[in-house]
A and B are shown apart, each in its own frame.
Chain A
Amino acid sequence: MAVKMTETDEILQYLNIKNDEELFADIPQKLRVSLDLGLPMDEFSLITSIEKSCSNNVSPAMNFLGNGIYDRFIPPLVDEIIGRNEFLTSYTPYQPEISQGILHSLFEYQSVISDLTQMDVTNSSMYDGFTALAEAVRMAYRINGKEEVLVPENIYRSQLSIIQNYVIGLNLKIIKYKFGKDGLIDMEDLKSKISDHTSSIIVANPNLFGLIDENAFTVSEFKKEALLITYYDPVSLGLIKSPGEYGTDIAVAEGQQLGIHMNYGGPLLGLFSFRKEYVHRSPGRLIGLSKDNSGRKAFVMTLQAREQHIRRSRAMSNICSNQALLAVASLAYLSILGSNGMKKLALITMNKSIKLKKELYNAGINTVFKGINFSDNLFYFDGQEKLIRSNISGGIKLSELSDYPGYKNSAFFSVTEKTSDESISRLAKITGE
């Protein structure tokens, strides 16, 4: 940034000092450094230089990556909205009277995610899906103080690691429950592990094998005093039973698919919803509706007494900055697509999965499970070098993502509405060779 000499001279004069060095008299000389951070650049050279870095990325000829982050179509209106500098360049709405735009938007975000999940309350965002999941485990512990959390045996290694980090200071044991040969929750095993000590049970739907898991719909019937935490796929909710419909206490998800670019996995959006009786134990920020002094509708951050700036070491979470802008993106996305658009999107995705499974089957590649898949499909497949040769992204091994003990020779191929029928056929041809 260009510093106007005349202005700095005026400031120095007013401060009655010769140079700005005097303003650093309190930093002892022995603490001073002289760093070479490079020559400043003009904007054109800067952009050229970064475009050059960008050109070192290679786009795949076809992309079958998923497992949480998906390449979906983003209506340009979404970027237009979150690119508006009134939203983009504002801070957390500490002065609500002058920040109604973002507050109103975040309140609507809380509403639309509550409608999508059929849950009572949604907070105004968490960092990402996996930290939202870990915060849900902490919240359940705050609510019932019980000492065990049941997690699916196929849980991703990164999810597990984050949960372990988030509960490190709590007296909480992580116990894995099993899956049947059909790739669905092994209900007998899960039931045998639920006890009076169970604080929470995590179910994923679609589960981490990519299947719609009907067994998850019944877990709440025998969960005892444990809280049911459901990790869902927000696009699947265009069609599939919502977490609220099957007795979920805390519903969490990664919201990236709702109008957010993949961006190598960040910034993302943690969706976090729960039953209203737990609101005082919940993490993160909440936007509430109130009135101004002339009775007009007005929004504020509310229940701040749960938060770090007031409650400090006894706060419900340490969250200060969250993912507000991405929350607005997801609100815009869901509003543009509407119920009908979301339903079709879910159907298109599932139909593409069927097509993929059929074509790969015809090429001699079998699915591991027979069930209904959403985006992610697990195949017996270890021909990754064929993919590399043809510049195809995908074929992530189950063992790369999870410590699950079985299906060592299996790998994922994922689809979205952007996956063309031709690319599925080409994938079948290449992998079947």
Chain B
Amino acid sequence: MRALADWQKLQVNKMYKQAHYDEDFLNSFNTGNDFYLEEVEDRYPDSIKRKRLKLPDVRSVDVSRHFTRLSEMNYSVDIGMYPLGSCTMKFNPKYADYVAALPGFQNVHPLESESRIQGTLEVMYRLQQLLIKISGMDYASLQPSAGAHGEFTGILIVRKFFEVNGQLGNRDEIIIPDSAHGTNPASAAMVGFKVVEVPSNDNGLVDIEALKAAVNPRTAAFMITNPNTLGIFDDQILEIAEIIHNNGSLLYYDGANFNAILGITTPGIMGFDIVHFNLHKTFATPHGGGGPGAGPVAVKSYLREYLPVPVVVLENGKYSLYYNLKNTIGKVSSYNGSFGVILRAYAYALKNGNNLSLNARRAVMNSNYMAKKLSKSFEIPYKSLKKHEFVLSTSRTGRKALDISKFILDYGIHSPTTYFPLIVKEAMMIEPTESVTLKDMDYYIDVMEKSLEVPEDTIKSSPVNTSVGRIDEIAAARNLILKWPDSCENS
């Protein structure tokens, strides 16, 4: 018998097979609804009634089986390594889910009076205080619903700040590095700012000269994340802050990468004025296949009066909602924030305490370990010292990041973020987090390396062990189908 090539051995050792069901749409089951409710009187005029209602007609057992089968066609952190760069897919601790399901928290109406929800407000207040501490800011609001929503909130604060200071018409630009996440320019534009991009320098950092050239009397703010999206800490940050502040502009911190610095440094000490957090990243709350998240915002004291209302305050041992901020931007969410997410984040923070910074350290160690090992086979541009994540380029390997990302899936692991940041060609952005073991990482690295050895047709035809093979995305956009066909029954 012919000896197996190395990559074949790996495949034999670690065969992964995701379930595949040719699952029908719920509206075609027609097994007969069995949710019982007693008969009720109907004395309402036809003039207010709909003519027809056609929801799925299924038994509960079929609903249960349908979603159980679908869940078997879904990869998750609880199955294996999920190193999506910039997403911080660490383990979501189950104690957080447990406390989030306490009926005393779950069954609280958002208009409930303050005296009955002292426990809820206590959790919110304590998380506010914790976020203030770890960010080196002075005040916080838990209201925004996700990172991008936090950015929107922060930029509304920027706008209001200049409005109150009589400079609104003059300050209409926001500067953003070319390595920034897409939500940054999108959020700035939503608030009516013109977006000016500055290029990064050869080290992947802010090009100070380019920044100086871009900064002008119209500059309202500079938005960055540090470490940046290349996973590199920009040690020019104090100089950057000075340039921005000397111009009378504000410095905005995108906290998506907070897991690299928690307990080590703070945006406050770096000179930032406004910060958003992504609780679903740094604080390990489950991301639910796309959301929910939560994107609290914290500011320095001189911006307190601009925060969304209400904020939670503590006076004489009683928690209450405080609305009386002079220049408040008002509201950005229906109510006071994603409490279910806030509570999980609070549980995570309280449980870990001073170990939070150990988690950050381990995350950075893991990232540097993988970067160094993978640098043998892949080009990892810019400075070698990484923080919690790093970006490699597959350009010189002759293989596309897309192909490698599909090949990886066949081994029961999730691919990195691909084609982001935009400044690296054929980018793969890897963020292992602190939750992975050495064995997890070595296996991942093995698979990455094998992806360069397998024959071209093998990689082009991957993945084969996932529920479905490569999907025609162009056809999906060209021939748009965004809902199920009508079931013929009772239509």
Contact = CB atoms under 8 A, between A and B. Distances in A.
B112 A41 contact: no
A112 B57 CA distance: 12
A224 interface: no
Given A32-B264, A57-B104, A321-B148, A92 B76 contact: no
B331 A161 contact: yes
B118 interface: yes
A13 B366 CA distance: 13
Interface stretch (A147-155, A343-351, A402-410, A424-432): A343-351
B118 A325 contact: no
B98 A47 contact: yes
B330 interface: yes
Interface string A23-67: 111111011110111111101001101110111111110010101
A23 B23 contact: no
A303 B477 CA distance: 6
Contact of B146 (A68, A87, A322, A396): A322
Interface in A352-388: 372, 388
A130 B57 CA distance: 31
B99 A47 contact: yes
Interface string A280-319: 0000011111111110111110110101111111110111
Interface in B1-59: 18, 20, 22-23, 25-27, 33, 35, 37-42, 44, 47-51, 53-58
B368 to A, nearest CB: 6
B488 interface: no
Contact of B27 (A115, A158, A388): A115
B202 to A, nearest CB: 16
B74 A86 contact: yes
B122 interface: yes
Interface residues of A, number: 186
Contact of B353 (A30, A41, A69): A41
Most chain B beta-carbon contacts within 10 A, residue among A32, A254, A276, A312:
A312
A98 B23 CA distance: 15
A168 B331 CA distance: 13
Interface residues of B, number: 191
Given A26-B235, A297-B22, A318-B148, A54 B289 contact: no
Contact of B468 (A100, A168, A331): A100
A169 B190 contact: yes
Interface in B413-435: 414-415, 417-418, 420, 434-435
Contacts of A417: 37
Given A50-B350, A347-B41, A264 B112 contact: yes
A291 B471 contact: yes
A300 B471 contact: yes
B72 interface: yes
Contact of A169 (B117, B191, B358): B191
Contacts of B477: 288, 302-303, 305
A128 B334 CA distance: 7
A303 B482 CA distance: 11
A36 B359 CA distance: 15
Interface string B73-92: 11111110010100101011
A185 interface: no
Interface stretch (B210-218, B335-343, B390-398, B450-458): B335-343
A175 interface: no
B327 interface: no
A158 B292 CA distance: 21
B341 A267 contact: yes
23 contacts: A23-B364, A35-B357, A37-B134, A46-B347, A54-B99, A90-B287, A90-B289, A91-B290, A92-B290, A96-B468, A97-B469, A98-B414, A130-B331, A168-B159, A239-B44, A241-B48, A241-B49, A286-B482, A300-B473, A317-B186, A321-B287, A334-B56, A339-B57
Given A89-B76, A240-B48, A338-B35, 17 more contacts: A23-B365, A38-B353, A40-B352, A50-B123, A57-B119, A89-B286, A95-B75, A106-B290, A108-B484, A118-B50, A286-B482, A311-B182, A312-B186, A328-B67, A341-B33, A351-B40, A393-B109
Closest 5 CB pairs of A and B: A169-B192, A325-B288, A265-B335, A265-B110, A101-B74
